[in-house]
Chain A
Amino acid sequence: MSKTEIWQGTLALMILKTLDTLGPLHGYGIARRIEQISGDRLSLNYGTLYPSLLKLEQEGWIVSEWGVSENNRKAKYYKLTRSGRKQLEREATEWNQTTAIVARFFAPLEEES
């Protein structure tokens, strides 16, 4: 797996989680939210978000709809679908397992000491 593929996968997971937590949201909102959650440690190039959103939409995890923002701006809102929610659960479990395994490799070797 190349670095971009990992990034693509995690970005998709972040988008799904964001939509799960906040409900329907536009691209700009999602980008800001991801940056906020990461404590501004993640500097996101906002442009990369849109291909990811499109991919998720093509795969049927999310749907989009034009709406009006809190500042009365026309914006395209993305919403999690039912299958998208299931996908999020699956991916979250997988993510936790993966990180747990990777974490064990870096943890101090307690048993042997």
Chain B
Amino acid sequence: MRKLRAWLLRFKGLFLKDAREKELTDELESHLQMHIDDNIRTGMSPQEARRVAIMKLGGVDQAKEAYRDRATIPFLESVVQDLRFTLRQLRRTPAFAVTATAMVAIGIGASVAIFAFVDAALIKPLPYQDPSRLLYVSETNPDIPLANLSYPDYLDWKKLNTSFESLEVYGPRGYPISTSTGMEIVDGARVTAGFFRTLGVGPLLGRDFQTGEDLPEAPRTLILSYASWQKRFGGKQEIVGQPITLDETPYTIIGVLPQNFHFAPVENAEFWTTVNPIGTCFPKRSCHSLRGIARLKDGVSIEAALADVTRIAKDLEAQYPDSNRNQGATLGPLSHLIVGDVKPMLLLLLGGAALLLLIACINVASLLLVRSETRRRELAVRRALGATRMRLIRQFVIESLVIVVIGTIVGLFSSQWAMQMLKGLIPIGMLAGMPYLNDLAFNSRVVLFAVAIAGFGAALFSLTPAFRLASLDMREGMAEGSRGSAGKAWTRIGSKLVIVELTTAMVLLVAAGLLGKSFYRLLQVDTNFETKHLITMTIRPPVSAYGEDPQAIALGRKIVNEVKNLPGVTAVALTDLLPLTYNSNTEWIRFAGREYSGEHNEVNHRGVSSEYFVTLQAKLLRGRMFNDSEDQTKPKVAVINQTLAKKYYPGEDPIGQRFGDTQLDPKSMKEIVGVVDDIREGTLDSDIWPAYYYPFNQNPYINYSLVVRTAQDDESLLPTVADAIRRIDSRISIANETTMMARVNNAPTVYLRRSAAWLVAGFAAVALLLGVVGLYGVIAYSVTQRTREIGVRIALGAQRSTVYGLILKEAGALALAGIVIGTGCAILAASLMRKMLFGTPPWDVTTLVCVAAVLGASALLASFLPARRAASVDPISALRAE
């Protein structure tokens, strides 16, 4: 305790220097006076008295020195001195100070911002109890790696498995509700009763679903998300127990979920209800509408669980060969399902940020090296005056610490800004699918990361000059105008560092180039319909009024006609699933008059109204389109896409052929009347699947999307179209009003590649700048070192062009080395990010050549300035300067 007190006082002593010095001087002065008085009393002369007193004290300055050592902490005292000296030095060279700290700030800011995203998405555990034991569970088949579960399969899996503590299913579902602006469709989800218990999440208010509440006869219950409770019900406590009508069915609100709860697979679901398996889909093994989550039993590995469900799926396949053929099982950690899409992109960006950090660090290190070179004489003088090597090294350590600390602080502030900006760039719709980004923030892990890289930077920056210092020859340093081996040594180290920088810049540039090209390729993908000037929206009429087929057909016709009459609209159609959504809504078909051995000919099917192909401007290749009079009274017809025609009717004319379901049920048989070009139903980066289209009027449904072709400006027509539909019946819900172009641009496949391309391009641009500045630095320094040599050459008759060549050759060698090594590294790095590429190989020659050209040209530019200075050296003054 006493010791601590003493240390604290000594620490305080660091800052009270002036007052303490004055007091000590006074005290010693009074001491001397008293001693002198005594000495005079014993008969000495005043001079003699003073001399003896000072001698006895052991010298005034020596006494003060001893006192000072005790008053403060000598080590810290000298650190404070070094710190003051450093700050003075930095103030004297503001260009260096600003450049170095700015580089540190850029490097740290970028990496910390990206790391915060990585942390929120990949490191931070999901907000469930013991999330590492949670799995996604789904069926799988050769065409669809992650296929939904059918309800009967789910029940069997639940009953037969030995690996799961619990297995539950969920599925997204929209619920129409009436709001002040008319009917609206609210995102929701239906789950089996144990869903929240499996996640380990309890409600904030009210209660969870109870066992049995997900059975068909159970009364309908509903749990609200926190956001929905706040937004739609004003956050009232008495909400629990209130009735609510959704989709014309009465529900009771039984609970509210906690604020931090999120479940990305169903995005921003507001209403959570139970599955209640009624309707046509649930009893069928072939109707896959649910996704599974499970909690592993203790001691069961993921592999064992996978083997378990695979065995069950095999048994079911044997038992139900018709519906379960090729239906395997798959599972994995729930986190993979939730962050699987963004993981490669985030790791890519983290890699980019790391390279940027590396290049920034190397630049700062070279700046510090150059500085230590220019300070050689000063250092030699200080050594000669008795400074220890440690003391000199400490000076460098403190200098780099100051730069790193300031740079880190600036970097942290800018990363905060960058994080918000990056998050702001994510479209709202996609952000809803990334709820884990809600707690994007500085947390202990992010701060630890920042401290770690700052520490790494500080170590690097203090070690490089310190290392150089070890080889410092004192005499040489002192020698007037010496430009001996040390200068050359720096040029050697510096040029190696520049090669690393150029290599790094090359890697980033190539990555940006490949991503940019992938993005371009993706947008060039032929959708086989016109995406411009096309409006889309989801429509959901009330079941009670339009549940019967004739009513549904009549409403469909009415909507199409009303909208078509609007000014600016040229064509209108209905479809049950918009193009560019996903390959889904599939069916297994069987061809009339052919051998059949139970294989699954899985094809997309879409119910569309008669003007669908006209509206999309899809090319009809053979036969005819539908006409509006083709309804249930007429023979069933279908239009197939080119892929289906090629796959199943190779070398045959499909027109007039018939196909149906796997049983060839007469009611399911359809005659092919036309072949249409491959309208891209799935995402831009997925394959074209076989598909057939059937007339809406022959098999109507009441959840559909509207496609509207407009003459010019599409976006401004959105409200007009919605109003026209609401005028038909105000009970019709409308959602997702947007344009096809917006859908394309905001699609995750497009968005992820676009943002990756832009961000990596940003990193690459900064890296290029830093690399080129680094090259300039080395060449410029080398020219200064060689001024005398160049002067001699010119004096001996060397042409200016020879001098240019001399310097440009030096720079060219460095740039070439950087480009060659960089090409190798870039191909390697690009192979690692192959997942992010599309239609572009990692060794794409055009990209490599373009990047090499850009880098080479920039390097040439950077070395041209020093070369010109070298060529304009005046031989006389160059020689005299020595």
A→B interface (CB under 8 Å):
26-29, 32, 45-48, 50-51, 54-55, 58-60, 69, 71, 73-76
For chain B, the bracket of interface size reads 20 to 34
Stretch of B53-61, B380-388, B423-431, B709-717 lying at the A interface: B53-61
Q: Could you list some 20 contacts between A and B, CB below 8 A?
A: A26-B30, A32-B38, A46-B31, A46-B56, A47-B59, A47-B62, A48-B58, A50-B24, A51-B66, A51-B67, A54-B70, A54-B71, A55-B70, A58-B6, A59-B6, A73-B30, A75-B27, A75-B34, A76-B23, A76-B26
Closest A residue by C-beta to B71: A54
Q: Which residues of A contact B57 (CB under 8 A)?
A: 45-47
Measured CA separation A48–B63 after assembly (Å): 7
* Residue contact B66 to A76, C-beta cutoff 8 Å: no
Q: Are A28 and B5 also in contact (CB < 8 A) when A46-B56, A51-B67 are? A: no
Known: A54-B67, A60-B2, A75-B34. 6 other contacts (CB 8 A): A27-B31, A46-B57, A48-B63, A54-B70, A74-B26, A76-B23
Measured CA separation A60–B67 after assembly (Å): 17
Q: Which residues of A contact B38 (CB under 8 A)?
A: 32
Report the 4 A-B pairs with minimum CB-CB distance, sorted nearest first.
A47-B63, A47-B58, A58-B6, A51-B70
* Residue contact A55 to B6, C-beta cutoff 8 Å: yes
Output the least CB separation between A77 and chain B (Å).
10
Measured CA separation A61–B58 after assembly (Å): 26
* Residue contact A71 to B34, C-beta cutoff 8 Å: yes
B→A interface (CB under 8 Å):
2-3, 5-6, 9-10, 23-24, 26-28, 30-31, 33-35, 37-38, 56-59, 62-63, 66-67, 69-71
* Residue contact A26 to B34, C-beta cutoff 8 Å: yes
Closest A residue by C-beta to B66: A51
Closest B residue by C-beta to A87: B2
Measured CA separation A102–B669 after assembly (Å): 117
Q: Are A50 and B33 also in contact (CB < 8 A) when A27-B27, A45-B56 are? A: no
Output the least CB separation between A97 and chain B (Å).
21
* Residue contact B5 to A48, C-beta cutoff 8 Å: no
Q: Which residues of A contact B31 (CB under 8 A)?
A: 26-28, 46, 75
* Residue contact A50 to B66, C-beta cutoff 8 Å: yes
Output the least CB separation between A5 and chain B (Å).
14
Contact for A28 among B34, B63, B67, B69, CB less than 8 A: B34
Output the least CB separation between B32 and chain A (Å).
8
Output the least CB separation between A66 and chain B (Å).
8
Q: Which residues of A contact B6 (CB under 8 A)?
A: 55, 58-59
Q: Which residues of B contact A58 (CB under 8 A)?
A: 5-6, 9-10, 70
Most buried by A among B9, B28, B34: B34
Q: Which residues of B contact A71 (CB under 8 A)?
A: 34, 37
Q: Which residues of B contact A76 (CB under 8 A)?
A: 23, 26-27, 30
Q: Which residues of A contact B56 (CB under 8 A)?
A: 45-46
Q: Which residues of A contact B63 (CB under 8 A)?
A: 46-48, 50
Measured CA separation A29–B56 after assembly (Å): 14
* Residue contact A59 to B5, C-beta cutoff 8 Å: yes
Closest A residue by C-beta to B23: A76
Output the least CB separation between A57 and chain B (Å).
8
Contact for A75 among B9, B24, B30, B58, CB less than 8 A: B30
Closest B residue by C-beta to A55: B70
Output the least CB separation between B63 and chain A (Å).
3
Closest A residue by C-beta to B29: A74
Q: Which residues of A contact B69 (CB under 8 A)?
A: 51
Closest A residue by C-beta to B5: A60
Most buried by B among A26, A58, A74: A58
Q: Which residues of A contact B5 (CB under 8 A)?
A: 58-60
Measured CA separation A76–B67 after assembly (Å): 15
Closest A residue by C-beta to B12: A58
Measured CA separation A46–B38 after assembly (Å): 15
Output the least CB separation between B556 and chain A (Å).
92
Measured CA separation A90–B69 after assembly (Å): 27
* Residue contact B30 to A45, C-beta cutoff 8 Å: no
Measured CA separation A54–B28 after assembly (Å): 13
* Residue contact B66 to A73, C-beta cutoff 8 Å: no
Measured CA separation A60–B34 after assembly (Å): 27
Output the least CB separation between A59 and chain B (Å).
5
* Residue contact B62 to A73, C-beta cutoff 8 Å: no
Q: Which residues of B contact A51 (CB under 8 A)?
A: 66-67, 69-70
Q: Which residues of A contact B30 (CB under 8 A)?
A: 26, 28, 69, 73-76
Output the least CB separation between A88 and chain B (Å).
14
Q: Which residues of A contact B9 (CB under 8 A)?
A: 58
* Residue contact B34 to A69, C-beta cutoff 8 Å: yes
Q: Which residues of B contact A54 (CB under 8 A)?
A: 67, 70-71
Most buried by A among B26, B31, B56, B69: B31
Measured CA separation A2–B878 after assembly (Å): 61
